[in-house]
Chains A and B, each alone.
Chain A
Amino acid sequence: MGDHDHHDRRHEHGSELSETQLRVRALETILTEKGYVDPAALDAIIEAYETRIGPHNGAKVVAKAWVDPSFKQALLKDATAAIGTIGFASRVGDHLVAVENTPKQHNMIVCTLCSCYPWEVMGLPPTWYKSAPYRSRTVIDPRGVLADFGVTLPADTEIRVWDSTAETRFMVLPMRPEGTEGWNEDRLATLVSRDSMIGTQLARRPDESAS
Chain B
Amino acid sequence: MNGIHDMGGMEGFGPVQPEPNEPPFHSKWEARCLAMNRVMSYAKVWNIDKSRAAIEQLPPLAYLGMTYYEKWAFRLEKLLLEYRLVDADEIAAGRALRPGKELPRKLPAADVPKALTRGSYSRPAHAPARFKAGDRVRTRNIHPHTHTRLPRYARGRVGVIECVRGHHVFPDSVAIGLGENPQWLYTVLFESRELWGESADPTSKVSIEAWEPYLEAAT
Interface residues of A (CB under 8 A from B): 1-8, 11, 17, 20-31, 33-38, 40-46, 48-50, 53-54, 89-95, 110, 112-115, 119-120, 123-124, 126-128, 130-143, 145, 148-149, 155-169, 195, 200, 211
Report if B150 contacts A (CB, 8 A).
yes
Interface residues of B (CB under 8 A from A): 5-11, 13-29, 31-36, 38-40, 43, 48, 52, 55, 64, 67-70, 73, 76-77, 80, 85-86, 90-91, 94-96, 99-101, 103, 106-109, 111-122, 149-151, 153-154, 165-166, 168-169, 171, 185, 187, 192, 195-196, 200-201, 203-211
Chain A residues with CB under 8 A of B76: 27
> Closest CB of chain A to B47's CB: distance in Å?
11
| In contact, B120 and A95 (Cβ under 8 angstroms) | yes
| In contact, A137 and B11 (Cβ under 8 angstroms) | yes
Chain A residues with CB under 8 A of B18: 126, 128, 148-149, 195, 200
| In contact, A164 and B113 (Cβ under 8 angstroms) | no
Chain A residues with CB under 8 A of B52: 113-114
Chain B residues with CB under 8 A of A148: 15-18
Compute how far the CA of A44 lies from the CA of B85 in the bound complex, rounded to whole angstroms: 23
Cβ 8 A contact of B39, one of A36, A53, A93, A143: A36
| In contact, A95 and B19 (Cβ under 8 angstroms) | no
Extra pairs beyond A46-B32, A166-B211 (14, CB < 8 Å):
A25-B32, A31-B40, A35-B100, A36-B43, A40-B109, A42-B39, A44-B113, A95-B166, A112-B6, A127-B26, A136-B7, A148-B15, A155-B203, A163-B151
Compute how far the CA of A124 lies from the CA of B208 in the bound complex, rounded to whole angstroms: 22
Q: A45-B34, A158-B204 are in contact. Are A38 and B106 (CB under 8 A)?
A: yes
Chain B residues with CB under 8 A of A95: 118, 120-122, 165-166
> Closest CB of chain A to B18's CB: distance in Å?
5
| B96, B99, B165, B209, most chain A CB atoms within 10 A | B209
Q: A23-B77, A93-B119 are in contact. Are A30 and B151 (CB under 8 A)?
A: no
| In contact, A36 and B106 (Cβ under 8 angstroms) | yes
With both beta carbons as reference points, the residue of chain B lying nearest to A36 in the complex is identified as B100
Compute how far the CA of A131 lies from the CA of B185 in the bound complex, rounded to whole angstroms: 27
| In contact, A132 and B13 (Cβ under 8 angstroms) | yes
Q: A27-B73, A42-B36 are in contact. Are A124 and B203 (CB under 8 A)?
A: no
Chain A residues with CB under 8 A of B171: 166
Compute how far the CA of A17 lies from the CA of B73 in the bound complex, rounded to whole angstroms: 12
| A30, A123, A168, most chain B CB atoms within 10 A | A30
10 A-B pairs with the lowest CB-CB distances in the bound complex, closest first: A93-B118, A34-B100, A112-B8, A166-B209, A33-B96, A26-B94, A40-B109, A42-B35, A44-B112, A136-B10
Cβ 8 A contact of A44, one of B48, B95, B109, B201: B109
Compute how far the CA of A49 lies from the CA of B149 in the bound complex, rounded to whole angstroms: 27
Chain A residues with CB under 8 A of B90: 30
Q: A20-B73, A90-B113, A163-B207 are in contact. Are A123 and B36 (CB under 8 A)?
A: no
| In contact, B35 and A45 (Cβ under 8 angstroms) | yes
| In contact, A166 and B149 (Cβ under 8 angstroms) | yes
Compute how far the CA of A127 lies from the CA of B68 in the bound complex, rounded to whole angstroms: 8
> Closest CB of chain A to B109's CB: distance in Å?
4
| In contact, B8 and A163 (Cβ under 8 angstroms) | yes
Q: A133-B17, A161-B204 are in contact. Are A27 and B116 (CB under 8 A)?
A: no
Compute how far the CA of A23 lies from the CA of B111 in the bound complex, rounded to whole angstroms: 27
| In contact, A37 and B19 (Cβ under 8 angstroms) | no
Cβ 8 A contact of A94, one of B99, B114, B118: B118
Compute how far the CA of A42 lies from the CA of B86 in the bound complex, rounded to whole angstroms: 19
